[in-house]
């Protein structure tokens, strides 16, 4: 597919976005992430994981890891086309379904409002939130330690998410709704984990992937 065709598809998907709370009870949240055995190769083997967590206790309920060949190159703002197929495969292997899926990456904080968390949510029609460790798109004021500030569009006053400073360093998280979740709920769920001293589910999924990756590659 040409880049223009992918952009057009993203814009069409964005028309289906629901940025309000559109889910029932909130008991289980899932964190999804993906890594590669060799990021410099293409095609390469990708590993995708989901970790399901009880939102009231922080207890891990289920973990799933799957692998597969990834051959779409890394192109900024088109991450979903590289990583989404394996994330969907991992989702389909879950025995328990979550109420909300937190994906490592952007939600609507994206030039076409279609980051990987939004893409995941729209395609599967599930509530989703994006949690990214770096800024892709938008503008913000620096938050205070353990505080947060709004993340706005570059060219308007549209709010796309939040920027959270987890501690007293420069460690920032960029939170944005994916699909069927409001701005306020996106923030509230992440803050719930941080204030309770629990790891955010995407970080748990990352740890699972690193453990699995170490098993599969030769150690020096």
- pLDDT attached to residue 146: 85
- pLDDT attached to residue 78: 97
Residue 219: pLDDT over 60: no
- pLDDT attached to residue 169: 65
**Cα dist from 194 to 65, 97, 130, 198, 200, whole Å:** 25, 23, 16, 6, 7
Residues 6+ apart with CB under 8 A from 105: 79, 83, 115, 116, 117, 130, 131, 132
Q: Which of these, 117, 86, 98, lies nearest to 186 by C-alpha position? A: 117
- pLDDT attached to residue 1: 61
Cis bond leading into 58, ω under 30°?
Answer: no
Residue 220: pLDDT over 60: no
> For position 147, which CATH number holds?
3.30.2170.10
- pLDDT attached to residue 40: 87
Residue 88: pLDDT over 70: yes
Residue 168: pLDDT over 80: no
Residue span of the structural domain in which 145 resides: 3-216
Confidence of residue 199 (pLDDT cuts 50, 70, 90): very high
* Composition of the chain by helix, strand, coil, percent to 5: 30, 30, 40
Q: What is the pTM of this model?
A: 0.95
List of E strands, the chain: 28-36, 44-54, 60-70, 100-104, 128-132, 139-140, 148-152, 159-165, 172-179
Element (H, E) at 83: helix 79-92
The structural domain count of the chain equals 1
Distance CA 99, CA 109 (A): 22
């Amino acid at each position: 597919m040409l880049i223009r065709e992918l952009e057009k598809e993203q814009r069409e998907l964005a028309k289906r976005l629901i940025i309000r709370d559109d889910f029932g009870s909130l008991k289980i949240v899932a964190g999804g992430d993906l890594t590669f055995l060799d990021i410099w190769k293409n095609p390469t083997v990708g590993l995708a994981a989901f970790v399901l967590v009880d939102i009231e206790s922080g207890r891990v309920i289920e973990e799933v890891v799957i692998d597969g060949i990834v051959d779409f190159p890394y192109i900024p703002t088109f991450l979903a086309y590289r990583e989404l197929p394996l994330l969907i495969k991992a989702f389909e292997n879950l025995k328990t379904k979550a109420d909300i899926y937190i994906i490592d990456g952007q939600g609507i904080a994206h030039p076409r409002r279609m980051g990987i968390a939004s893409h995941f949510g729209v395609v599967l029609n599930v509530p989703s939130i994006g949690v990214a460790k770096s800024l892709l798109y938008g503008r913000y004021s620096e938050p205070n330690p353990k505080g947060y500030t709004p993340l706005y569009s570059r060219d308007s006053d549209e709010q796309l998410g939040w920027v959270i400073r987890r501690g007293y360093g420069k460690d920032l998280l960029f939170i944005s709704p994916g699909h069927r979740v409001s701005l306020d709920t996106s923030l509230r769920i992440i803050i719930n984990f941080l204030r309770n001293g629990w790891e955010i589910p995407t970080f748990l999924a990352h740890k699972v992937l690193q453990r699995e990756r170490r098993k599969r590659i030769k150690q020096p």
